[in-house]
Structure 1
Amino acid sequence: MRKVTFAEFGGPEVLRLDTAEQPHPGPGQVRIAVRAAGVNPFDWRIRTGTLQDAHPIELPAGLGLDAAGVVDELGEGVEGVEVGEHVFGVGSSAYAEFAVLSAWTRMPAGLTFEEAAGYPSVVETALRILREVGVRPGQTLLVSGASGGVGSAVLQIARDRGITVIGTAGPANQDYLRGLGAQAVTYGEGWVERVRRLGRVDAALDVAGSGVLRELIELTGDPDKVVSIADFGAAEHGVRFSGEAGSLPDALALAADLITRGRLHIPVEKSYPLAEAAAAHLDSQAGHTRGRRVLVP
C-alpha cells in the first residue's frame, strides 16, 4: 500500500510517499480502507520534532491521527461494527491507503468521507478545552484564532450549550465566524478594545498560539480562566496548556450526534492527494485556515 512517511525531523520536504506493508488491527481495533485523512497541527509538530519529548516516536514513522473510510478488517473482540461500514475515528499512520483505528463511530448520513475525516481530533480537543476552561451557559467565551478546525468546533459546541461566543480571525473570515453564531473581531492593533466593546469576557481559549496570552488574561481578569492548546509558554503566564486527549469514543459519539442534529458543521477548505502531503503541511502551518484540510488516497 502507499503511505506517507518521514525518516528525519525537519520541514515538509522530509515527507515521502512510500510503499509499506498493510497494517492489521489488534484486539479492540478495526482496519479501514482510508478514503480521507485529516491534517492536524499535531501532525506537523511531530514531523518537526517539536513534540519529541512529550510524544516520542522512532524513525522512520508515519503520520496522521484522523481518518474516515470503509471497515475491511476487525480485531479480536470488536463488536457493534461490521466489515463494509463507513466510519470515522482516530488511529495512527492515517496518511495511507489503509489504517488501524482505536476509536471510531459510524458516519452520519449525508456526510462525505472528506468532511468526516476533519472531525475526530478537533471535536475531542474542543470538548476538552471547553471543560477545562470551565465556561458555563449564560457566560461569554472568547476564542482567539477561531476560524480553524478546533475554533470552528468550539464556537458551535459552545453555542449549542447556551454560551455566548466571540471569535477573533483575519478580515477574510469575519463573515464565516458570524455564520457560526459568533461575534467576530479582527486581529491587529486595537483588537482588545474591540472585544471590550462587546461586553464582559468570562473565559478565553487560545487555539492559534499567536502570542496573545497576556491580553486574554487581561480580558478575563484571571489566568485560570484561560486555556491554550498552541502556546508552549503558557505556564510562564500561569495559563493551563492542554495537550492530553480525553475520551475519544465519547467525543466521536457527540460529534455524530451534533452533526446529525445539524448543530455542527466543519467545512473542508482543501483536499490534497497523498503525494501532496508536504503542501498540505505548508498550508496548515501558514494558518488562516477556514475549517479543515484533508488528504485523499
Structure 2
Amino acid sequence: MAICTGAAAEEFRLEDVPAVAGVPIAEIKPRTVIFADQRNDKLADSSTGLIPFDDWARSRPVQRRFLSLFASFVEPTLNQQTKLKLSVYHAEARFRLPRPATALDLSRYANVAFLEQIDPAVKHRPITAGDAVPNKDAGAAHNRPPNRRWCEDETAICVQSRYMFEGKIPAGIQLANKLRDEGKKPIPDFIEFQSEITLAAQPQLAELPSLTGLDSTVAGALEQNIFWVNQVIQFGKLLAVLQQHPTEPEAAIATVYILIAVRNDVLNKQREYTNTPILRNLVPAQLLMGKSSFNSGDSLSAGLPKYARGRVKAIADMMERE
C-alpha cells in the first residue's frame, strides 16, 4: 500500500463529498478529486467508524463482488465453531482527465516503480508464487482464490512490501510490548504485506460500470490485491477504473476504490490499552481511523482516512502528467 507525500501547487485538490455517485460528472472540476469514505455511513460502527464485513457484503453485493479479495471471499473460519470477524474501511474517489480514455495506458502503473513513486516510505521487493504466503501456508489458505494461486499469472507482478511505523508509534509499541505477558508474541513496529498487481481483463472490464454507476466504455482497470499482512489487516484492495467521459470525447473519468478489511479480534483484544493512561491513544481502532495522538506523517502512521486521500491524489497526479 502507498500514499503521496508532500504537497505541491500543481497537485490535485481534494473535495470531500457525501457520496461520489451523487456528484454529476459535469460538476467535477478540473484537477479536483471528489472523495468519500464510510465513516458517516449508516452501517458504520459508532465505536470504530468501520463497517462490519457481513453488513457490507449483504447490503452492497456489487461492491462485495468487485472489492473483496476475490468474488467468493467470506470471513475465514478459525475452527469448526468460530469465524474470524472482520470490519472494512471503504473509500472511493473520482476525477476528470483531459484526454480520451484510450490515450491513457494503465499498464504503465503495473510495476514496482509506480508503488515507489506514490510512497517512498514503503519498501518493496518482487516475489514469486512460491513466496506468496497463502499459496504455501494452510493457515492463510482462506486468502487464496478457489480457482488459482497468487502470482502465477504471467501478466501480473507480485511484491512484498514493508512499512516501518513513524512518529511516536514505535515508542508506544515498545512500551506495550513491555507491559504484555512474557509468553505473548511481541507486537511488530512495522507492517509487512504481499500483493499482486494486475490489469483487469474481459469479461470483468465490461461489467465494471455496474460498480462505478457510470454508463460509458471502460478503457482499463488496474487492481492491487493485498493478500497477506503480518498484523491487524486481513486483506486490502485498490481498484482504479478508467472510463471514457460520457459527453466529452477528449476527456476521461477515473474512479478509484480502496477497501481495507481489519480483524475484529485485534481491535477488541487491545482495547485493554484504554486502562493504561500512556497507551490510551494506542488503541488500534483509533490509530486506524486517524483519531489518536500517536498518528503522524502522511503514510499509514497517519491513519486510513489520510492514507486513502493521499493515495488517490497521488494516482490522479500521475495520470494527469502522463
TM-score w.r.t. length of structure 2: 0.23
TM-score w.r.t. length of structure 1: 0.24
Higher relative contact order (CA 8 A, sep 6+): 2
